[in-house]
């Protein structure tokens, strides 16, 4: 993470020592680098060159409106999966004409809001949803622009919880069913076929799953053309992985050029949309946490920190690995193999197993690669308030979400009357 580096034995975000952030906002806390976010987005945009494209940032990765606004200023589109995410995009100044709306369970109200907001495309995930959208569009007197999310049954070779492109997944429509769904959509008076969508999973660390899926999608495009149905855009999803623990995912150029080459090999000239989330946000953030205690059993050493699985769910949910490093490297303690554990009353509340660390009570740690699917998945289990989010911009610190208070935690609750 080049935007997070040690200087004179202290970890910095850009030009700010992370100990200063902790002193200002306390811990646990999420810290993001503006330069890192913008650098990752631009790497993808530059990789396309003059090829017609839209980068639709996956809002679910990190939905803070400050981050969405940064990306909107760059010209980004957005991939959303709920009305709430669309409202965030609009509040952040995002362009609805660059929004693709995915998700398997869109309600009537959500579809109405999407159509009234003039999103670019609604990605259909079932025939039942197609019928619902036709009815909603007809009731509003508008035409709905759609893509059908096809399921190519390609193994992305990633964790099963983030694998979405195989036939057993709840996402998308199988290829043969999708062909019939396109023919049906073509006959519907309030539906306009705009594109074809495919997203096979997340944290994919080689190009072959992407190119395998693309081959299947392009064959479908040609088959549809023979049936008189012209596709106007290829939505090729996201899923490009990052380095958590020594992974070597494709660089932006390699990833993008593999897609462009695949399209060109079929003689197809269509704009491409992609939906990166983790690639842009993941290594653009860390979570700061303070060591409360060290505890030594006969077979285990524990570093008990103030951040828990409610603050960062990924290790408990996915068995995900995050590097955990000291904010200062001048500890007088001896290195010990620690399980880094939190305060939540669950045995799964472990941020990292067997980490070699020299630390003592009061030390600051940084949990790396915490910019994506981290704060976004935080919760209030054990009645713990959610941490603040901070954006570092050069030598400036901006609090982009205040630490939740206890009053906010209970503000929607009411006691029964006497």
Distance set, CA 90 to CA 138, 144, 299, 402 (Å): 24, 19, 53, 21
Residues 298 and 223 in one domain: no
- Kindly state whether residue 390 falls inside one of the protein's structural domains: yes
Residues 52 and 197 in one domain: yes
Residues 313 and 392 in one domain: yes
Residue 369 contacts residue 351 (beta carbons within 8 Å): no
Distance set, CA 113 to CA 74, 133, 137, 171, 205 (Å): 25, 12, 11, 22, 36
Residue 40, CA atoms < 13 Å, CB-side half-sphere: 28
Is 368 a residue of the active site?
Answer: no
Residues 174 and 210 in one domain: yes
Residues 151 and 129 in one domain: yes
Q: Give the domain CATH number at 55.
A: 3.20.20.10
pLDDT (0 to 100) of residue 63? 98
Q: Last residue of some domain: 264, 280, 296?
A: 280
Q: List Cβ neighbours of 290 (8 Å cut-off, separation of 6 or more).
A: 22, 27, 28, 305, 306, 362, 363, 364, 365
Catalytic one of 56, 198, 345, 368? 345
Residue 83 contacts residue 109 (beta carbons within 8 Å): yes
- Kindly state whether residue 51 falls inside one of the protein's structural domains: yes
The domain total for the chain is 2
Look up residue 336 and give its two tokens. 């010990």
Residues 197 and 62 in one domain: yes
Q: Of 47, 6, 18, give the one whose Cα is nearest residue 256.
A: 47
252-265 and 34-48 helices, crossing angle to 10°: 30
Residues 14 and 42 in one domain: no
Residues 216 and 167 in one domain: yes
Residues 93 and 216 in one domain: yes
Residues 75 and 116 in one domain: yes
β-pair type (10-13, 16-17): antiparallel
- Kindly state whether residue 299 falls inside one of the protein's structural domains: yes
pLDDT (0 to 100) of residue 2? 76
- Kindly state whether residue 226 falls inside one of the protein's structural domains: yes
Dihedral sign (CA 364, 369, 374, 376): positive
Instruction: Determine the Cα–Cα distance for residues 329 and 327; give it in Å rounded to an integer.
Output: 7
- Kindly state whether residue 19 falls inside one of the protein's structural domains: yes
pLDDT (0 to 100) of residue 161? 42
Structural domain including 306 reads 4-32+282-409
Binding residues for pyridoxal 5'-phosphate: 239, 275-278, 373
Residues 8 and 151 in one domain: no
Coil, strand or helix at 70: helix
- Kindly state whether residue 415 falls inside one of the protein's structural domains: no
- Kindly state whether residue 416 falls inside one of the protein's structural domains: no
For residue 191, give the H/E element and its range: strand 191-197
- Kindly state whether residue 392 falls inside one of the protein's structural domains: yes
Write down the pTM of the prediction: 0.94
Is residue 360 left, alpha or beta, with left meaning phi > 0 and alpha meaning psi from -120 to 50?
beta
> Chunked in runs of 10, what are the mean pLDDT values of the chain (418 residues)?
90 98 98 98 97 98 98 98 98 98 96 98 96 98 97 62 52 89 97 95 86 92 96 94 91 95 94 97 98 94 98 95 96 91 97 96 97 98 98 98 98 96
Q: Give the domain CATH number at 16.
A: 2.40.37.10
Q: What tens digit of pLDDT does each residue of 147-204 get? A: 999 988 775 554 444 444 445 667 789 888 999 999 999 999 999 999 999 988 878 8
Residue 262 contacts residue 211 (beta carbons within 8 Å): yes
Q: Last residue of some domain: 280, 312, 346?
A: 280
Residue 128 contacts residue 108 (beta carbons within 8 Å): no
Q: Last residue of some domain: 265, 280, 295?
A: 280
Q: Of 22, 3, 13, give the one whose Cα is nearest residue 365.
A: 22
pLDDT (0 to 100) of residue 167? 55
Range 162-171 burial, b when 16+ CB lie within 10 A, else e? bbbbbeeeeb
pLDDT (0 to 100) of residue 169? 67
Q: What tens digit of pLDDT does each residue of 44-60 get? A: 999 999 999 999 999 99
Burial of 253 (0-12, 13-18, 19+ CB in 10 A): middle
Binding residues: 239, 275-278, 314, 318, 346, 373
Residues 158 and 241 in one domain: yes
Instruction: Determine the Cα–Cα distance for residues 135 and 127; give it in Å rounded to an integer.
Output: 13
Q: Of 222, 322, 237, give the one whose Cα is nearest residue 275.
A: 237
DSSP class of residue 98? G
Binding residues for substrate: 278, 314, 318, 346, 373
């Amino acid at each position: 993470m080049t935007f997070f580096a040690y200087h004179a034995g202290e970890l910095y975000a850009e030009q700010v020592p992370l100990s200063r952030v902790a002193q200002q906002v306390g811990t646990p806390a999420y810290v993001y680098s503006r330069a890192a976010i913008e650098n990752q987005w631009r790497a993808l945009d530059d990789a396309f060159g003059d090829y017609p494209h839209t980068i639709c940032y996956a809002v679910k990765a990190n939905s803070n409106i400050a981050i969405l606004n940064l990306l909107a200023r760059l010209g980004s589109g957005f991939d959303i999966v709920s009305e709430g995410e669309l409202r965030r995009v609009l509040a952040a100044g995002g362009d609805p004409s660059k929004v693709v709306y995915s998700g398997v369970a869109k309600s009537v109200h959500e579809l109405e809001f999407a159509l009234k907001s003039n999103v670019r495309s609604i990605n259909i995930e079932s025939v039942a949803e197609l019928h619902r959208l036709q009815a909603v569009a007809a009731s509003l007197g508008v035409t709905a622009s759609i893509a059908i999310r096809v399921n190519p049954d390609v193994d992305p070779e990633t964790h099963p919880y983030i694998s979405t492109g195989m036939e057993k997944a709840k996402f998308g429509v199988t290829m043969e069913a999708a062909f019939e769904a396109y023919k049906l959509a073509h006959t519907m008076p309030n539906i306009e076929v705009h594109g074809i969508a495919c997203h096979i999973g997340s944290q994919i660390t080689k190009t072959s799953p992407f190119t395998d899926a693309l081959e299947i999608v392009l064959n479908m495009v040609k088959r549809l053309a023979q049936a008189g149905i012209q596709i106007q855009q290829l939505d090729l999803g996201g899923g490009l992985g990052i380095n958590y623990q020594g992974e070597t995912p494709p660089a932006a150029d390699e990833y993008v050029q593999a897609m462009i080459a695949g399209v060109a090999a079929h003689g197809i000239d269509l704009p491409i949309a992609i939906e990166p989330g983790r690639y842009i946000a993941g290594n653009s953030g860390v979570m700061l946490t303070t060591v409360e205690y060290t505890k030594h059993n006969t077979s285990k050493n524990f570093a008990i920190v103030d951040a828990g699985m409610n603050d960062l769910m990924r290790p408990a949910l996915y068995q995900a690995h995050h590097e955990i490093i000291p904010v200062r490297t001048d500890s007088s303690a001896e290195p010990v193999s620690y399980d880094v554990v939190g305060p939540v009353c669950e045995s799964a509340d472990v941020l990292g197993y067997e980490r070699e660390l020299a630390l003592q009570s009061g030390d600051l740690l940084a949990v790396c690669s915490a910019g994506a699917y981290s704060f976004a998945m935080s919760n209030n289990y054990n009645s713990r308030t959610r941490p603040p989010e901070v954006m570092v911009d050069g030598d400036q610190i901006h609090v982009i979400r205040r630490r939740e208070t206890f009053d906010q935690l209970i503000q929607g609750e009411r006691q029964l009357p006497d």
